[in-house]
Amino acid sequence: MTGFMGTGKTAVGKELAARLGFEFEDTDAQIEKEAGCSVSQIFRGKGEPYFRRLERRMVRRLKGRKEMVLATGGGMVLDPGNIRQLRKSGWLIGLTAKPHTVVKRLAEHRDRPILEKPNRLAEVRRLLGRRRSFYERADCLISTDGLSVGEVVDRIQDWLLARLNCTVPVRVAPNPYTIEIGWDILKDLGTRLAGLGMGRKVAVVTNPLIGRLYGGVTLRSLKKAGFQPLYVQIPDGERYKTIRWVNFIYDELLKHRFERSSCLLALGGGVIGDMTGFAAATYLRGIPYVQIPTTLAAQVDSSIGGKTGVNHPRGKNLIGAFHQPRLVYTDIKTLETLDRRNFVSGLAEVIKYGVIADGAFFGYLEAQLPRILERNPHYLLPAVKRSGEIKAEVVWKDEREGGLRRILNYGHTLGHALEAATHYRKYLHGEAISVGMSFAARLSLSLGLCKAESVERQERLLVRSGLPIAFPKIGQRAVLDAMAHDKKVRGGAIYFVLAGPIGRVSVRPVPAGKIQAQLRAFASGRRRRFGRK
Amino acid sequence: MTGFMGTGKTAVGKELAARLGFEFEDTDAQIEKEAGCSVSQIFRGKGEPYFRRLERRMVRRLKGRKEMVLATGGGMVLDPGNIRQLRKSGWLIGLTAKPHTVVKRLAEHRDRPILEKPNRLAEVRRLLGRRRSFYERADCLISTDGLSVGEVVDRIQDWLLARLNCTVPVRVAPNPYTIEIGWDILKDLGTRLAGLGMGRKVAVVTNPLIGRLYGGVTLRSLKKAGFQPLYVQIPDGERYKTIRWVNFIYDELLKHRFERSSCLLALGGGVIGDMTGFAAATYLRGIPYVQIPTTLAAQVDSSIGGKTGVNHPRGKNLIGAFHQPRLVYTDIKTLETLDRRNFVSGLAEVIKYGVIADGAFFGYLEAQLPRILERNPHYLLPAVKRSGEIKAEVVWKDEREGGLRRILNYGHTLGHALEAATHYRKYLHGEAISVGMSFAARLSLSLGLCKAESVERQERLLVRSGLPIAFPKIGQRAVLDAMAHDKKVRGGAIYFVLAGPIGRVSVRPVPAGKIQAQLRAFASGRRRRFGRK
């Protein structure tokens, strides 16, 4: 926080730090504490140059610190070296105010060395005039006149959240696309779509719950950008992910004469995304569609990669097609309204990405889990982004699941079987995958592919997230049989994604006997069910 | 026909010519006619060298002739120049027989110059021994011992038909494939599939009619090659081309645990091909399939290019996907059992290829139409091949119907509308397309894009084929409205494929008013319905 005295650096900084869960520091206060006397006293006793030296030393000392809001003295920015140092450590937020406001706010304060002269207003004007160009070098400059402390912090937070917006490329041929991730970006959807060069007819496919929450802002944004949006509502729930409801979408599109240039928008979670994508893949042999995922699982997994489909009475996702979206538009803010169980279920996939492809990311999740669970966008968004990057890269390298893409199925072989054996009623997908990851890790350990520490770290992070890593007695036959049905089976052999050190996996066929033995060990003994809330 | 005396060249040649509808010529007979005396007399009077000169002159004179079976004298092949010349004009069919057979067959004949010596058998042996290496240079060598004339001709015909076998590449990325066209090749299907490297599970999807005719040979061929074929039967008819029956296919595949490496075989016409292709496109998000088209329309059009789909109550082919087959396996012999109306309907598409892409091919069709209508494989197969080549080239250059592929829709804008307006009950697809081609040609004429002669040639060939080129009073509204529904509409404008000189078309938007005026002229006046039988 930089700015002239009286612009509210300390008050705003403290409030901002509180909201972000950061520490708060004030260079003046720190200097006073260490010197054992006030800034005015230092000015009077040792002169301004001496004080500036103390300031510089303080900046150098604080520059490596993270997760801190630092309020600086009003003259700090006069030294270009200080600005450089501060900018390396984070954002420079500048607060400004008109001279009158400054004088008024300072009326209550005594201990201001520079302003002890008779004509305060003239002196403020003079100093502000001299320093303006320095303050304006801030990354973010906010006029505080007429605003409460809370309002100033709101604006800073908006600015900081907008800095999170980012783009992840998905380099599939022949039509690459991007994942656009941001905070509160749903309102800008129309403008963004207008740049894709499609027809004016778009259909927003969603369910009643998501429609009530985000249908309004979506439709308004589309209309404002000149689109003619059609609203298509599907009942909420996996059991409506059927050919029958895809047929309902067809009917709506045909009724409104949707053409090949028309576009479908999937506003919702995985069910909406898969069905809308499948409708887009098969309507007039393929029309464009955009994914607007509103659940964590959809944002980090199902919306990326072009897998679309519906369920069949004999199993999930048995009917479908590969059809890449034209854009994945991910508004992290929509996760605010996601219930905890679904949010945590989505986290299982995020953790999976760490295990299969990025040990450092796994470490980030271990360190930042509490903030991610609070859905603090500053920690959540980077996790969504990194997950998207990993998925996009794997998909790019292997669009049709020839080989590499199978590593995304870490934890899924047992996970799918568990879901099937419990008739998709007991576990959310991520919960089953969590159990599956624990199983795959233990199977990997038993095959000598990873160390016990790797298994422990995985299980600890899953449990801390609130995910299950064991399942109660289920007929092993049922689970094994369900595994044999899984579409990852080739020529009768059961292929497993197995863990190496965190960040590395491999795909290998595992003999049924080995799996059965591990299942016995896994389901019995002293293992409890962890973490389900 | 070459071969030693007494091997049956004349008798076999006459029978073969009769079966093929060719002329028959005999060099010895021709020389005798022109010389006014017998070969023996020439030998005796002027000596063998003189006779050989006459033979050489005869070969040079006959070499340009087409559609002729030519029986040559037994010594003709001794001159390498003769062999070269004959081979340029066509196939060299050599007949052989054992010395005893020759002597026996010659017992009745008198006038054989070389064999008037006492020990006939020894002389035949001697001559045969000297000439064997010459006779063996024939393209096709048949031992006639113990065979009747008819049996020898059967073998020659089989050999000639096998020479028709050919391959047309379809160069689509990333998985190019081939169309394999031949006569009576269904029995070799299994062997051919074995080279594609797929799993052993294959499903033959067909209807009761085709199943009864060709199901047996198909299944036997598959089993012999080590496949485990599943037989899936769909009721016969366009009205079963629905999501519901695709669902039936899914059920069968799931019941028999079909995996991603399993393959579907579409044995039948367009309905079977489209549905099977769509099932393959959407089962487990896409598995391989092979087209085995048994109707002319399917062989020249629907089996090539990867368009798959089903009908919707609101229109044909509204639901579907692009999914390229792994192979198109076209047995022309299956057309023998196709009813005349369906065969002729398929011809409309063949004629269309001439109009849109190849004036010379159009000329071939004009010249050979009677033989094509007789389904003479020697004329029909080249027509199927050239049609496939044109379609494959267009598809290759524009897999997803971005631009060029639209030229394939010549005649289809009105054709589709006509089918829709008559609820798909009155016209077969090709019949409607035939009317549409006539309409498009006349519209092109009215727009100054082609000459009257071009319209006349198109209409004459269609009518000669037995296709309709006009339709009785149908509400113009209904047809226009149906055109507006057509999926080739973009942003409201009606795009038409319009004819230039035969062999060239262009795609242009045509104002509705212009179309309406042409429709009025087309439907009213002195125009009769031609050619429907």
Active site residues of B: 285, 307, 349, 391, 401, 405, 409, 412, 416, 429
Smallest CA–CA distance from B484 into chain A, residue: A257
**Region of poorest pLDDT, from A87-96, A101-110, A224-233, A296-305:** A101-110
Taking the CA of residue B172 and the nearest CA in chain A, the distance in Å comes to 13
> Would you place residue A533 in the very low, low, confident or very high pLDDT band (cuts 50, 70, 90)?
very low
Predicted pLDDT at B529: 44
> Does residue A118 or residue A369 have the better pLDDT?
A369
Q: Do B312 and A243 touch (CB under 8 A)?
A: no
A-B contacts at Cβ under 8 angstroms = 84
Contact criterion met (CB below 8 Å) for A169 and A176: yes
Which range among A366-370, B430-434, B480-484 shows the weakest confidence by mean pLDDT? B480-484
**pLDDT tens-place string over residues B217-231:** 999 999 999 999 999
Q: Which chain A residues are within 8 Å of B285, Cβ to Cβ?
A: 307-309, 317, 320-322
Residues of B with CB under 8 A from a CB of A: 199, 243, 247, 250-251, 254, 257, 259-261, 278, 281-286, 307-309, 312, 314-315, 317-322, 400-401, 485, 487, 489-491
Q: A298: helix, coil or strand?
A: helix
Q: Which of A254, A307, A308 sits opposite B318 (nearest CB)?
A: A254
What 3-state DSSP class applies to A450? coil
How crowded is residue A224: how many other Cβ atoms within 10 Å of its Cβ? 14
Distance (Å, rounded) from C-alpha A317 to C-alpha A321?
Answer: 10
For residue B527, pLDDT beyond 60 = no
Nearest-by-CA chain A residue for B321: A285
For residue A532, name the pLDDT band (cuts at 50, 70, 90): very low
Nearest alpha-carbon partner for B264 in B305, B297, B222: B222
On the question of pLDDT at A16 being above 70, the answer is yes
pLDDT band at A530 (very low <50, low <70, confident <90, very high): very low
Q: State both tokens at B286.
A: 């896409």
pLDDT confidence of residue A493: 62
Q: What is the three-class DSSP state of A34?
A: helix
Cβ contacts (< 8 Å) between B312 and chain A: which residues?
250, 254
Cβ distance A318 to B286 less than 8 Å, yes or no, reads no
| Average pLDDT for B300-309 | 96
pLDDT band at B348 (very low <50, low <70, confident <90, very high): very high
Q: What are phi and psi of A140, to 5 degrees?
A: -135, 125
Measure Cα distances from A361 to A345, A365, A374, A394 in Å.
18, 6, 18, 16
| Span B360-380, average pLDDT | 96
Per-residue confidence (pLDDT) for residue A454, from 0 to 100: 96
Q: Calculate the average pLDDT of chain B.
A: 89
pLDDT for B531: 37
Say whether pLDDT at B340 is over 50: yes
CB A355 within 8 A of CB A499: yes
pTM of the shown model: 0.84
Which region among A258-267, A490-499, B30-39, B100-109 has the lowest average model confidence (pLDDT)? Answer: A490-499
* Cβ contact, residue pair A321, B282, below 8 Å: yes
The whole-angstrom distance between B345's CA and the closest CA on chain A is 25
Nearest to A285 among B285, B286, B320 (CB): B320
Residue A67: φ, ψ to 5°: 55, 50
Active-site position among A349, A389, A419, A431? A349
CA distances from B217 to B184, B204, B220, B531 (A): 11, 12, 5, 36
Find residue B169's DSSP bridge partners: B178
Residues in chain A whose Cβ is within 8 Å of chain B: 199, 243, 247, 250-251, 254, 257, 259-261, 278, 281-286, 307-309, 312, 314-315, 317-322, 400, 485, 487, 489-491
- Which residues of chain A make contact with B307, given a CB cutoff of 8 A? 285
At B405-425, the pLDDT tens digits run 889 999 998 898 888 888 888
Q: How far is CA B287 from CA A391, B199, B200, B226, B242, in A?
A: 23, 11, 13, 20, 20
pLDDT at A424: 83
Query: Which tops the pLDDT comparison, B249 or A102?
Result: B249
Between A199, A260, A309, which is nearest B285 by CB? A309
Residues of B with CB below 8 A from A316's CB?
none
B319 to chain A, closest Cα gap in Å: 5
Q: Which two tokens stand for residue A259?
A: 């053409």
Cβ of B491 and A307 within 8 Å? no
Q: Per the residue annotation, which of A110, A285, A314, A425 is the catalytic one? A: A285
Residue partners of A320: CB distance under 8 A and separation at least 6: A274, A278, A281, A307, A308, A309, A310, B282, B284, B285
Mean pLDDT across A60-65? 85
Q: How far is B403 from chain A (nearest CA, A)?
A: 13
State residue B195's pLDDT score. 87
d(CA B382, CA B375): 11
Q: Over 90: is that where the pLDDT of B256 sits?
A: yes
pLDDT of residue A527: 47
Please indicate whether residue A429 is annotated as part of the active site: yes
Whether residue A325 has pLDDT greater than 80: yes
Average pLDDT value for residue range B498-518 = 89
In this predicted model, what pLDDT tens digit does every residue of B47-73 receive, in sequence order? 989 999 999 999 888 887 888 999 998
B487/A282 touch (CB, cutoff 8 Å), yes or no: no
Cα of B266 to nearest chain A Cα, Å? 19
Residue of A nearest to B482 (CA): A257
Dihedral (C-alpha) B492, B307, A283, B349: value to the nearest 10 degrees? 40
Encode pLDDT of A238-277 as tens digits. Answer: 999 999 999 999 999 999 999 999 999 999 999 999 999 9
With contact defined as beta carbons under 8 Å apart, do A170 and A178 qualify?
yes
Burial B163-191 (b: 16+ CB within 10 A, else e): ebebebebebeeeebbbbbbbbbbebbbe
* Backbone CA torsion sign across A178, A182, A185, A191: negative
Q: Determine the residue of chain B that is closest to A311 in CA distance.
A: B284
Residue B525, pLDDT above cutoff 50: no
**Selection from A9, A16, A10 nearest residue A160 by Cα:** A16
B279: nearest CA partner in chain A:
A319
Catalytic residue chosen out of the listed positions A307, A316, A333, A378: A307
Lookup: tokens for A129: 């005039």
- Measured in whole angstroms, the distance separating CA A482 from the mean position of its chain's CA atoms is 33
Which is more confident, A106 or B441?
B441
Distance from CA of A9 to the nearest CA of B (A): 56
pLDDT of residue B103: 86
Between chains, do B199 and A491 touch, taking CB under 8 Å as contact? yes
Q: Which of A246, A248, A256, A282 to mutate to test the interface with B (most CBs of B within 10 A)?
A: A282
More confident residue, B79 or A115: B79
Interface residue of B243, B282, B398, B416 to substitute, partner A, most A CBs within 10 Å: B282
For chain A, give the percent of residues with pLDDT over 70.
Answer: 92
pLDDT in tens, A406-444: 899 999 988 988 888 888 888 999 999 999 999 999 999
- Most A CBs within 10 Å, among B257, B285, B312, B485, to test the A interface: B285
Token code pair at residue A313: 């009475």
Residue B130: per-residue pLDDT: 87
Determine the pLDDT at residue A83: 86
Model confidence at B532, pLDDT cuts 50, 70, 90, reads: very low
Q: Which of A253, A283, A284, A285 to mutate to test the interface with B (most CBs of B within 10 A)?
A: A285
A323 a catalytic residue: no
The alpha carbon of residue B334 is apart from the nearest alpha carbon of chain A, in Å, by: 29
Identity of the highest mean pLDDT range in A109-118, A522-531, B9-18, B53-62: B9-18
A405 in catalytic set: yes
List of residues 6+ apart from B253 with CB closer than 8 A: B203, B230, B262, B264, B279, B283
Average pLDDT over residues B374-380: 93
Partner-chain residue, chosen from A307, A321, A400, that has the shortest CB–CB distance to B321:
A321
Contact B489 A281 (CB under 8 A): no
